[in-house]
A and B are shown apart, each in its own frame.
Chain A
Amino acid sequence: MDLKEKIGIHLDQIKHLKGVENVVLTQRDGNPIQSAGVWFSKDEIFNVSSTTSAIFNVGIHLHPNTLKYVLIEGKKAKILIAPLNSPVHSALNRILQQQGIFDNKHEFFIVITVQPNANLGGIFLQTTEFLKKIKTTLITSGESFKPPLVQFDDHRNQSIMQDLIVKKDDVFNFNISSYSLNLTESISMELRKLLNNFSIAIPDLRFGSIILEGGFIASKLIRRTKKSEEDLYKNSAMSYSLFQTSNQCAWLLKKMNADSILLDCEDRFQFIYGMEKAIFSAEIGKSRQKLGLIRLILPQFSNKIRYLIKQAFEIQNYNISDINKSIIDIKQITEVRP
């Protein structure tokens, strides 16, 4: 029995858990290794592996060493992306590290699509054992499964892009455009007030940010963390890109939009809520509040934020050209090269 067949057996076991629709094991760079369940084509597996690889790599950039899984939630399904060396396998990780055979910590990950009403906790618990077996099989094989550097022809590239067109309200929403938005003082104040209230409702909030389409920060609040403003911009760029790509992945798999994303880490949660032209991202420590309670509170705030952002896009009574004309001499805020 070859390696892929061995892995296939374990993936089939995961597929047979109640509520699981399909599953694919992927190398970190996006090379699909083996899959189980119903897939429409090899291209579908390839595209899902490629987009989830982007999501996974951003996830481990945001939370190096502590990321347990990424959960994308939409109306038709939940998509679980989990590293094979999740901290929940700490005992096995320790043994492998002592043997010096598992030094690259995030080489493989698994993507599991489950029905929206499935018992995720149960699936997660049962999956853990299968993942350990897959990991051991992979590591002892010594195979790396890195994808080759490839260049596709026009037809292949166009086909990838077409598959990714996310439809919203029955309108294709692939075309990218620039936009200008005036964020008025009153809207900024309201957004800040909301984030403050959110931090009162969620005492373990580390930071929260409202990020507009394109990755621009509309409002932010830093609490129990030493993050600098620069860190927050990086975090926002990554969170926004992660959400956008999750939306593409959700569309590829289930023709649905992603509503929210949860990044579960050892000591914290990061939630990302989609709101048409913005996202709301919040990092929350785990010490005091339960996941269930946070999940009840979050949508109330995201709805209010959604309303304010909608208003912001409607109020455009400032004269941008006057501001642009006033920008004549600029110099770098920090150090300028001599």
Chain B
Amino acid sequence: MIYDYENKTIQVKIVYYGPAMSGKTASIKNLFSFFNKGDILTSIESTVGRTLFFDFGVLQFEGGEWSLKFLIYSATGQDFYASTRPATLNGVDGIIFVADSREQCLQHNLRSWNELKTMFREDFQTLPILVSFNKQDLQDKINPGEFLKTIDSSNFSQLAYEHTNAINGEGIFDSFKKLLEFIFPNLRLL
């Protein structure tokens, strides 16, 4: 996070992370559409339309004296490009972990979570994290409690979860808001 005293601007980096096809790009697109900024996203994607490196966009807000710029990324979920994930995560201030709620995806979610954990030092447990249980519209969903128990969520000081559906936008804004409240506890998004 950068506090720029000259321009009275705070730059904050948020990364959407999670297994392949869990809905990271759809979530980020929906978030930007919510703020009528759907057209400003940049996607470095493969020729078959999968995220090859990252999606990126900036959301800007103003407060009384300081303004906030959120640099929002989504990391690639494709294992073929796993090598690019550390570059996307570097300097992150908060993570939205997009889990695929389908029962058969529990192991994929856990594997992605464990990979994320190994890339951080001990400060992973103090990092603001929002687990977004996506694809809530589908049948045979995992129990969030089971996933949270497996990752020992009680050891994390700033972790919350939300049910989302990136296709219709349900829970996407709330997830973002919850994460921001971890980063700036007094904040109210008007």
Contact = CB atoms under 8 A, between A and B. Distances in A.
A180 B86 contact: no
A200 interface: no
A225 interface: no
Q: Please report whether the interface of chain A is mostly helix, strand, loop or mixed according to DSSP.
A: mixed
B156 to A, nearest CB: 14
Contacts of B89: 176
Given A154-B111, A214-B92, A241-B88, A318 B60 contact: no
Given A176-B120, A217-B11, A241-B53, A183 B5 contact: yes
Interface stretch (B71-79, B132-140, B143-151, B160-168): B71-79
Most chain A beta carbons < 10 A, residue from B5, B20, B108? B5
A220 to B, nearest CB: 10
B36 interface: yes
Interface residues of B, number: 72
Interface string B109-127: 0010011001111010001
B83 A57 contact: no
Most chain B beta carbons < 10 A, residue from A28, A54, A107, A334? A54
Nearest to B73: A237
Contacts of A180: 1-3
B100 interface: no
B58 A233 contact: yes
Q: Please report whether the interface of chain B is mostly helix, strand, loop or mixed according to DSSP.
A: mixed
A47 interface: yes
Contacts of B46: 28-30, 57
B90 A176 contact: yes
Contacts of B34: 337
A328 B186 contact: yes
B61 A161 contact: no
A139 interface: no
Interface string B97-108: 000000000001
B62 interface: yes
Contacts of A237: 42, 54, 56, 71, 73
A326 interface: yes
A29 B47 contact: yes
A180 B92 CA distance: 10
Interface string A243-269: 011001000000000000000000000
Contacts of B5: 182-185, 188, 318
Interface residues of A, number: 73
B13 interface: yes
Contact of B84 (A51, A217, A330): A51
Interface string B63-85: 11111110101000011111110
Contacts of A230: 40, 58
A332 B67 CA distance: 9
B44 A183 contact: no
A61 B82 contact: no
A320 B7 CA distance: 15
A24 interface: no
A155 to B, nearest CB: 11
Contacts of B40: 230
A182 B3 contact: yes
Most chain B beta carbons < 10 A, residue from A177, A178, A323? A178
A179 interface: yes
Contact of B184 (A50, A183, A327): A327
B141 interface: no
A330 B190 contact: yes
Contact of B188 (A149, A245, A328): A328
A178 B93 contact: yes
A39 interface: no
Interface in A126-183: 146-147, 149-152, 154, 156-158, 160-161, 164, 174-183
Query: 5 closest Cβ contacts across the A-B interface?
Result: A214-B91, A244-B87, A188-B6, A330-B61, A331-B190
28 contacts: A29-B48, A29-B52, A30-B52, A50-B82, A51-B84, A54-B83, A54-B87, A58-B53, A154-B111, A161-B115, A176-B92, A177-B123, A180-B2, A214-B91, A238-B42, A241-B84, A248-B86, A318-B5, A323-B66, A328-B187, A329-B64, A329-B188, A330-B188, A332-B59, A333-B67, A334-B35, A334-B60, A336-B36
Given A58-B53, A234-B56, 8 more contacts: A54-B44, A152-B82, A154-B111, A212-B91, A233-B58, A330-B67, A334-B37, A336-B36
